[in-house]
Amino acid sequence: MFSVGHVHSWDYVGSFKLSYKCCFLLTIVAIFVSGCAATISVKEHQKARFNRDDTVTVMCRTLDPMGFTGELEHLLLSRGFDVVSQEVAIRKAKLNIDVNYDNQRTQGEVESYNTTELRSVYSLTFSYSTRFDGVFSERKIIKLYGSLIDLRTGKIVKSLKIDRGPLSSKGNSDLLEKLVDKL
């Protein structure tokens, strides 16, 4: 005879199968979600060294509609880097052209820029692509590639990369912050 509080052995088997299925499902979800997270990597040149006390100028290689140049300057400055703005760092050579060739007049301005003429020791150059995230109603970084270049030697001291997974919920500022922390 069985007592009132007695549990049959097949009840343990059933609960084991249920917990096994839950663990398996949670493992699959964890693998899927971790694969969708953003990856931030900073690779350093084996021989070249970066000195945080030297000046850094941040420059976007393309148009910067998201304003990440200003965000990166702010983050670098708040972490103790010596940041020189792009406007101050670039030496501009402006030429006014006004040439008259027998009643044919040509007028205009020419501006010349050269990245190696920066009044800075390092240049942090980057480019990025974004997508519109309908859930959060904002544009998010999909990929960001950058290089920290020693302007004295032309060597790439560090290579930077952000690669956002499709379901990553991190904001752009969080990703840029983590990137700067890895420098």
Tell me, yes or no, whether 25 and 49 share the same domain.
no
pTM of structure: 0.65
**Do 25 and 59 share a domain, yes or no?**
no
Regarding whether 159 and 87 lie in a shared domain, the answer is yes
Is residue 2, in this structure, part of any structural domain at all?
A: no
In tens, the pLDDT along 121-145 reads 899 999 999 888 766 577 888 899 9
- 33 and 53 share one domain: no
Tell me what pLDDT residue 141 has: 87
Look at the chain and report how many structural domains it folds into. 2
Q: Is residue 127 part of a domain?
A: yes
Specify if 1 maps to a domain. no
What is the residue range of 28's domain? 8-37
Q: Which amino acid, one-letter code, is at 148?
A: L
122 touches 157 (CB < 8 A): yes
The helix (run of H) or strand (run of E) holding residue 76 is helix 68-78
pLDDT of residue 86: 81
In percent, the amount of the chain with pLDDT more than 90 equals 27
81 and 28 part of one domain: no
User: CA separation (Å) from 67 to 47, 150, 151, 170?
Assistant: 32, 24, 24, 17
